[in-house]
Amino acid sequence: MSGKKVEIAVFLFLSVVTARPARAESVGKVVNEGNRLYRQGRFKESLDEYERALTQSPKAVEPEFNKADSYYRLDDLQQAIDLYKVVAAESRDMRLVEKAKYNLGNSYFNQGQKLFDSDLQKALENMQTAVGWWRQTLDINPENENAAKNIEVARLTIKDIIDRINRQKEQQKQQQQQQKQNQEDLKQLLEQQKALADKTGQEQQKPSPDYNDIAKQQSQLKDRTGQMKQKLQQQADPNNPDDQGRKADEKLEKAVEKQKDASEKLEKADAEDAKKSQDEAAKNIEEALKELSEQKGQQQQQQQKEQQQAQQEPNQPAEPNQPQQQPEQVEAPDATAEEILEKEQRQKEQRQLMQSPGFQKVDKDW
């Protein structure tokens, strides 16, 4: 990927020989001051200057464009997008419209890149929207090589996102099958525990009760419940304290304790207390089953939400309205999708470095 520094267009008010009204000269002077601050990297201060220019000339589109550039540099992409759309809709200069649409593509692409780790569906929509704006850029200027190149980069990125989404769906499908099997296993454990409790009660009614066989069966059921507990523990999300699988695991841990207690009491022929422990174990298993059922319901709701989002059409680029005002000459933007990807990767690596244990801030000596 290219290692060039990411740049976007900034308006430069050029001096001319012919005289202009004092008001226009004042607006140009204010915008030039904003441009000077922008070039120095003082983007927040440049915004103030561009806003002053708009106060003097509310219909001017050049300051709107430059405000968008400043917001882009400040990583406030939504503000940048809103302003670029204004310029694309209101400018009569197709060169300016081209630049605004190109930068809209960059903004959506950048925004989509930032959503990779949090919302793949939204990332996909942003990438698709970016391609739409770059295509409109090519409609205006078929020779815009950066826009054409960006579309190809975005297509590869979109393919990667779709592959990730498909992998997520496959993982969700496997999880659903796993959860279904877990529920079936818990139902069997619950039925067996209830049956043992009933068997203990029936044995109590006999003249010469023998609890050895029940105690053996109870011990075996305890081992199977413990295995189920370990299975749920392995499947639970360690980073989510509200994970239903973890809660089910905790319920089974209590069930195992009660089953052990019941087995020991049966060996001592303490049938009454043993049955109480058996009933409590059955209750804990039933609560674990309930937790898994709630987890399944939550996942189904999330999947339905994602499906509804996937069915929605991505945001379509706005078409330009009739022009209002002729803008001044501008420099061509040259940020590419590859550069945006490269920049985001560097920032991601830097964030990971800052978050790694043992990181200490040091004074610069260069």
Q: Could you give the C-alpha distances from 12 to 65, 180, 311, 358, in angstroms and in order?
A: 11, 64, 43, 47
- The string of pLDDT tens digits covering residues 225-269 is 999 999 888 887 666 655 566 788 889 999 999 999 999 999 999
Whether 56 shows a pLDDT value over 80: the answer reads yes
Whether 10 shows a pLDDT value over 50: the answer reads no
- The string of pLDDT tens digits covering residues 67-102 is 999 999 999 999 999 999 999 999 999 999 999 999
Architecture of domain 22-143+318-348: Alpha Horseshoe (1.25)
Mean pLDDT to the nearest integer, 198-215: 93
Q: Could you give the C-alpha distances from 100 to 69, 82, 83, 214, in angstroms and in order?
A: 10, 11, 9, 79
Whether 153 shows a pLDDT value over 60: the answer reads yes
Contact predicate 112/124, CB 8 Å: yes
Q: Could you give the C-alpha distances from 56 to 2, 227, 241, 326, 354, in angstroms and in order?
A: 41, 75, 56, 16, 45
SS3 325: strand
Mean pLDDT rounded to a whole number for the chain: 79
Among residues 323, 338, 347, 357, the alpha carbon closest in space to that of 97 is found at: 323
For residue 246, give both structure tokens.
């973890």
For residue 176, give both structure tokens.
């659903």
Positive/negative CA dihedral, 262, 267, 268, 272:
positive
CA distance 131 to 108: 9
CA distance 325 to 27: 14
Question: At CB < 8 A and 24+ separation, what contacts does 53-56 make?
Answer: 53/27, 56/23, 56/26, 56/27, 56/30
Q: Residue 101: its pLDDT value, please?
A: 95
Q: Model's pTM, two decimal places?
A: 0.58
Q: Residue 175: its pLDDT value, please?
A: 82
Whether 307 shows a pLDDT value over 50: the answer reads no
**145: exposed, middle or buried (Cβ count in 10 Å: 0-12, 13-18, 19+):** exposed
Annotated domain spans of the chain: 22-143+318-348, 185-310
